[in-house]
Amino acid sequence: MATLKELAKRDDLLSGGHRACAGCAMTSIVRQILLVAGKDVVVGCATGCLEVTTTIFPYSAWRVPFIHTAFENVAATISGVETAYRSLRKQGVLNKEMRFIAFGGDGGTYDIGIQALSGALERGHRMLYVCYDNEAYMNTGVQRSGATPFSANTTTCPVGECSTGKPQFNKDLTAIVAAHGIPYVAQTTSAHWRDLTTKVEKALNADGPSFLNVLSPCVVGWEYPSDQTVQIAKLAVDTCFWPLYEVENGKYRLNLIPAEKKPLDEWIKRQGRFKHFYKPGGEELLAKAQAEVDRRWERLLAVSEKPQKQSK
């Protein structure tokens, strides 16, 4: 495992000058992943924030081979690249060792791309799929997705006279992926650099498909000041809304148990998308959201190995 000092000396494989928003977590996720992966990778990308902000023709921020084809199919596209690699290696045409990484947002992963993802996982392609989960269709202006949390305000389920935002809870995609029985599945965030880079290393070394669900706070959609991205991501973990855990060869392991589990309110109140939680009737929404977080956390505790030390 590389230290921060070592990682900092490596080449940055996503150049500056891309058009991502100030405070966007997505590009810091990508940069951390590429620091671990190195240059012998092929990156696939679903249509979404990452693709549109990094590849506006005739420019590209990518210093590694990159392919985008469409929205719902990055898992299928990269599986084709990986298959060509295997074929050419088998024939002795290619001798280099390479890795394959697919990036999709939550729209391209939880929703429209879940079929292609499931198919690619089941077929066993050796690839790392990374979902940068910003909890809505941010690229097209904050429409709700299967990853949008309960009662968040979005442009397609707006808070109104008869609406308190998204009526449903977010889909537990990490569990859905884990159910495929692939070698390595994990959840992390943009802000936990050691956790993220350790997981990337494990994922890239897995002999088969691997999957990372990375929480990616969004300044525009979550409505918070652009200098608070790291804090917001950390609060999601400290409130147990987004636990850091991994499923390695079927074994669940919690990577962090907060010494003191903070109330969900501490994460919710920092974000404009939940501001109706603090109007009359909002206590009920908060209680319901908290109950679901507790239920999922208890379930995870029940099935997981615990870390040796608890964080402070």
Partner 1 sequence: MKIVGLTGNDAVAEAMRQLNPDVCAAYPITPQTELMEKFASFAADGKVKTEIVLAESEHSAMSACIGASCAGGRVMTATSANGLALMWEMLYIAASYRCPIVMGVVNRALSGPINIHCDHSDSMGARDAGWIQLFSENSQEAYDNTIQAIKIAENPDVLLPVMVCLDGFITSHTVERVEVLDDEVVSRFAGEYVPKYSLLRSDRPMTFGPLDFHDYYFEHKRIQFEAMEKAKPVVRDVSERFSKLVGRPFGVLDAHKMEDAEIAVIALGSTAGTARGVVDELREQGKKVGLIKLRVFRPFPIKEIVELARGLKALAVMDRSISFGGLGGPVFGETRSACYGAGVNVPMVNYIYGLGGRDTTFEEIERLYGEMETVAREGKQVDAIRFLNVRE
**Contact positions vs partner 1 (CB under 8 A):** 39-42, 44, 51-52, 55-60, 62-70, 72-73, 75-88, 90-91, 94, 96, 98, 115-116, 118-120, 122-123
| CB closer to partner 1 out of 75 and 268 | 75
| CB closer to partner 1 out of 37 and 268 | 37
**Tokens describing residue 49:** 């924030």
Q: How far is the CB of 130 from partner 1 (least distance, A)?
A: 17
Q: How far apart are CA 312 and CA 100, in angstroms?
A: 36
Q: How far is the CB of 84 from partner 1 (least distance, A)?
A: 4
Q: φ and ψ at 220, to 5 degrees? A: -70, -50
| CB closer to partner 1 out of 31 and 194 | 31
Q: How far is the CB of 71 from partner 1 (least distance, A)?
A: 9
Q: Count Cα neighbours of 137 within 13 Å in the Cβ-side half-sphere.
A: 15
Q: How far is the CB of 21 from partner 1 (least distance, A)?
A: 16
Q: How far apart are CA 28 and CA 32, in angstroms?
A: 6
Q: Which helix (H) or strand (E) holds 87?
A: helix 74-90
Whether 214 and 196 have beta carbons less than 8 Å apart is answered as: yes
Q: Which helix (H) or strand (E) holds 120?
A: helix 114-123
Q: How far is the CB of 88 from partner 1 (least distance, A)?
A: 6
| CB closer to partner 1 out of 75 and 218 | 75
Q: How far is the CB of 87 from partner 1 (least distance, A)?
A: 4
For 232, residues 6+ apart whose C-beta sits below 8 A from its C-beta are 217, 222, 224, 267, 270, 271
| CB closer to partner 1 out of 59 and 278 | 59
| CB closer to partner 1 out of 112 and 159 | 112
Q: How far is the CB of 179 from partner 1 (least distance, A)?
A: 16
**Tokens describing residue 292:** 């679901």
| CB closer to partner 1 out of 123 and 194 | 123
Coil, strand or helix at 44? strand
Q: How far is the CB of 1 from partner 1 (least distance, A)?
A: 23
The sign of the torsion formed by the CA atoms of 61, 62, 68, 73 equals: negative
Coil, strand or helix at 33? helix
Angle at 16 between CA 25 and CA 223, to 5 degrees: 30
**Tokens describing residue 218:** 């969004």
| CB closer to partner 1 out of 121 and 293 | 121
Q: How far apart are CA 74 and CA 76, in angstroms?
A: 5
